[in-house]
Amino acid sequence: ATGTDIKPVEIVVFMRSVKSRSFFEQMKGRGVRVCNPTDLAAVNPGEHIKKDHFVIVDCVGVCERDKTDSRPMDSKKSVPLDKLLQAVSLGNVEDEVLSSIAARLARLDKDASDADRAKVVSLSGGKTLRDLARGIVDALAIDATQDMPPAQAEQRLRDSIWPFRTPALREQLLKMKQRADLVIDTVTKDTLLDAAFTVGSDRATALVQSFEQFIAQHKDEITALQILYSRPTRAPLKFEDVKALADALHAPPLNIDEGALWQAYATLRKDAVKGATQRRLLTDLVSLVRFAMQQTNELVPYPERVQANFKAWLAQHGKPFTAEQQHWLEMIRDHIAANLGIEIDDFEYAPFNAQGGLGKVHQLFGAELPKVIEELNRELAA
């Protein structure tokens, strides 16, 4: 490998094919290095006293094969990704365009979140970012296509770019690229813009205003907002609905994070905000929306709200529970705090399955279990 201290050699053995001309020449260059006669005699004693040539042992016919000049995959670095994707969506199958897209998809895969990867799979017909990149690379491979009729080789290329005809997939890739980009300005000299104490509150105000404008503008479009705006609540709020709302807030141009938003409210209304230093859960977004809509006077972490509702439910229930039943009720409470609700199937998974799962909870609550679950879902998530 380049950068490795390779000692002079007198025999170069090729055990596999080498496609790159520069790599082939580099390997031959290893054999050209001058070898001290004393060092040579120490490892290969014989009549010769100096190295005046070297030998290539070609086990795979590499010397007879045509070589290609190696080049970077992303040969269109100056062309933005949106232009490249637009080109292939219109049927462009130039090698440089396709290889550049493959290189950028491979880089995107390194920085992509699990949620972004899942979206790509759903929009591409089941292909991951790595699958899409590999499909292009395989279609461009000379060894795989050199014996094909030209029409078949071109069709192989067109098949590799077929998923990019989907506008939603191209849009998703561009969003991921925008989030992954980090622009570092090494030319412009830094200048102090402001030295006042109001900068933090100004930024907090801008963030809160952006959030509140967004939920007001999309209250009839996003399911979670439709449910939270309806009074009384017309349907139970689902975790998937809140996740979709969070994805919309995280996406450009808003790029709003729940933790930063919570801190912004704490800056502006310190007396009305609790738990500013706590780690945020996705369900805290419910508390943020309700507070922004002025449905509550305090911004309280969602788990704390669930805990308060749980205590009220226990007080109103009247019937005492055993210690084991109480323990299971508290586990159900914590599950609702993190997931907005609980269903019978959830008892087959952690943490319930480690303590007996569905069978155990049925044993503890019997025929009352469906009623208990219904009440907890309704009262705790209220």
Torsion of CA 273, 278, 282, 284, to 10 degrees: -20
End-to-end CA distance of the chain: 63
Q: For residue 31, count CB atoms less than 10 angstroms from its CB and return exposed for 0-12, middle for 13-18, buried for 19 or more.
A: middle
Backbone φ and ψ of 74, nearest 5°: -90, 80
How far is the C-alpha of 296 from the C-alpha of 289, rounded, in Å? 10
Whole-model pTM: value is: 0.52
Residue 247 contacts residue 115 (beta carbons within 8 Å): yes
Cα-based distances in Å from 45 to 41, 49, 331: 4, 9, 77
Handedness of CA 19, 21, 22, 25 (dihedral sign): positive
Closest CA to 312 of 380, 252, 377, 246: 380
Half-sphere exposure of 141 (CA within 13 A, CB side): 10
Cα-based distances in Å from 339 to 241, 284, 369: 11, 11, 19
| pLDDT digit string (tens) for the chain, length 382 residues | 444 556 667 777 878 777 677 677 777 777 777 777 777 777 777 665 666 677 788 887 777 766 554 456 676 777 888 898 888 888 888 888 888 888 888 888 888 888 889 999 999 889 999 999 888 888 877 555 566 777 887 788 888 888 988 999 999 999 888 887 766 677 788 887 765 444 468 888 999 999 999 999 998 889 999 888 886 656 788 899 999 999 999 988 888 989 899 999 999 888 899 887 788 888 999 999 999 998 899 999 999 999 999 999 998 887 788 999 999 999 999 999 999 999 999 999 888 988 999 999 999 999 999 999 999 998 898 7
* pLDDT value of position 369: 92
Write the DSSP string, 139-172: HH-HHHHTTS-HHHHHHHHHHHHGGGG-HHHHHH
Closest CA to 75 of 44, 98, 41, 105: 98
How far is the C-alpha of 346 from the C-alpha of 323, rounded, in Å? 22
How far is the C-alpha of 321 from the C-alpha of 136, rounded, in Å? 62
* pLDDT value of position 1: 46
- Rg of the chain over Cα atoms, rounded to whole angstroms, equals 32
How far is the C-alpha of 96 from the C-alpha of 253, rounded, in Å? 31
* pLDDT value of position 374: 92
Residue 76 contacts residue 84 (beta carbons within 8 Å): yes
Write the DSSP string, 15-56: -S---BHHHHHHHHHHHHS---HHHHHHHS-SS--S----EE
Q: How far is CA 104 from the centre of its chain?
A: 15
Contacts of the segment 323-330: beta carbons below 8 A, 24+ positions apart: 324/364, 325/364, 325/365, 328/355, 328/360, 328/361, 328/364, 328/365, 329/372, 329/376
Beta bridge partners of 20: 68
What residue ranges do the domains of the chain occupy? 1-70, 81-180, 201-300, 304-380
Helix axes 258-268, 199-217, angle to 10 degrees: 120
Q: Strands, E, within the chain: which ranges?
A: 11-14, 55-58
* pLDDT value of position 3: 46
